[in-house]
């Protein structure tokens, strides 16, 4: 097995572990530890950290807007311990967005430079992730499953390719400096 394949596999397992921790337990501290561990051991730690922050900010904005507009909701409570504020999604979901950013250059790299594939992948698989979260009680929907699914498909059809565009912009200088 190539080193590249192993890194992609480890990254995939890392992201799935984080997804299950946040969906089942709305875990914050363990997930923060896993995020820090990725930044320590990632072969692309500098660019991963930039992408993770950018995707975290984009995702927090998008999901907070979806929450404020009633598309979905979360248990109210202390923000850091997992509950939502009136305007910002819970910290565990913010962490999940960072984890998504940490996967852009690794287990999700097949979507890079393929905007139509990323659009389709985001529109199909991201709503399924939210529906999975809803089944386990991590999120509630404000509309019918059909309406919620359609809204999430449209939003993620734009957001997922935007994550790759952000990554490309953030790593362009790094790639140029390696050429010289």
User: Residue 79: its pLDDT value, please?
Assistant: 54
| Whether 142 contacts 72, CB under 8 Å | yes
Q: What is the pLDDT of residue 27?
A: 78
pLDDT of residue 46: 96
- Supply the pLDDT for residue 85: 67
What integer pLDDT is reported at residue 177 of this predicted model?
Answer: 46
Q: Give the residue ranges of the chain where pLDDT is below 50.
A: 78, 175-180
Q: Check residue 86 and give its pLDDT.
A: 72
Whole-angstrom distance, CA of residue 114 vs CA of residue 109: 10
Strand partners of residue 84: 76
pTM: 0.91
For 38-90, the pLDDT digits (tens) are 999 999 999 999 999 999 999 999 999 999 999 999 877 645 555 556 788 99
**Tokens linked to 18:** 């984080």
| Cβ atoms 164, 118 nearer than 8 A | yes
Q: What is the DSSP string of 28-59?
A: -HHHHHHHHHHHHH-TTHHHHHHHHHHHHHHH
Which H or E run contains 91? helix 91-103
What tokens appear for 27 in the block?
Answer: 């875990």
User: Residue 125, SS3?
Assistant: helix
Contact 88, 79 (CB under 8 A): yes
> Domain spans of the chain?
3-179
Copy the structure tokens of residue 87. 């305007």
The pLDDT value recorded for residue 84 is 59
Sign for the pseudo-dihedral over CA of 5, 7, 8, 14: positive
């Amino acid at each position: 097995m190539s080193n590249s394949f192993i890194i992609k596999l480890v990254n995939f397992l890392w992201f799935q572990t984080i997804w299950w921790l946040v969906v089942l337990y709305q875990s914050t501290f363990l997930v923060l530890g896993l995020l820090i561990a990725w930044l320590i051991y990632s072969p692309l730690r500098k660019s991963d950290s930039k992408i993770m922050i950018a995707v975290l900010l984009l995702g927090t904005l998008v999901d907070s807007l979806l929450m404020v507009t009633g598309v979905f909701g979360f248990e109210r409570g202390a923000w850091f311990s997992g509950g939502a504020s009136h305007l910002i999604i819970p910290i565990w979901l913010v962490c999940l967005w960072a984890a998504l950013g940490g996967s852009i250059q690794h287990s999700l790299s097949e979507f890079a430079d393929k905007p139509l594939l990323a659009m389709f992948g985001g529109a199909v698989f991201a709503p399924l992730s939210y529906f999975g979260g809803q089944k386990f009680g991590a999120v509630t929907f404000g509309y019918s499953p059909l309406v919620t699914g359609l809204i999430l498909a449209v939003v993620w059809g734009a957001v997922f390719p935007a994550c790759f565009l952000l990554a490309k912009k953030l790593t362009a200088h790094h790639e140029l400096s390696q050429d010289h």
